[in-house]
Amino acid sequence: MDATQVIIRPVVSEKTYVLAEVGKYTFRVADTAHKTQIRQAVEQLFDVKVVDVRTSSVKSKPKRRGHTSGRTRQWKKAIVQVRAGDSIPIFRGLEGAE
């Protein structure tokens, strides 16, 4: 699997920006990707050294719009810790913004 297929997009939330300040970055990843693939993809795409990878499956939630009911998609999340001194530039612009 190609690195751009493993990492889908960064997860943007208040919690992820707090984690980004201590060197932990959160990404939405492919459901079939495992920790080794995620580590290699982040190191290749962002030129950083990955120390730790933690993954979790985000379960789908029930949603309703009027009489129509359904569920959101299930997806996989990875929290990647990089070596001290390294940073990923896509998170750099909003870390200090309030």
What pTM did the predictor assign?
Answer: 0.86
What ranges make up the beta strands (E) of the chain? 7-10, 24-29, 50-58, 62-65, 68-71, 75-82
Distance CA(24)–CA(80), nearest Å, equals 5
For residues 71 and 97, which has the higher predicted lDDT (pLDDT)? 71
Q: Which residue reads 């009489």 in tokens?
A: 67
Per residue in 18-55, pLDDT tens? 999 999 999 999 999 999 999 999 999 999 999 999 99
Residue ranges covered by each domain of the chain: 3-61+72-85
- CATH class of the 3-61+72-85 domain in this structure: alpha beta
| Predicted pLDDT of residue 8 | 96
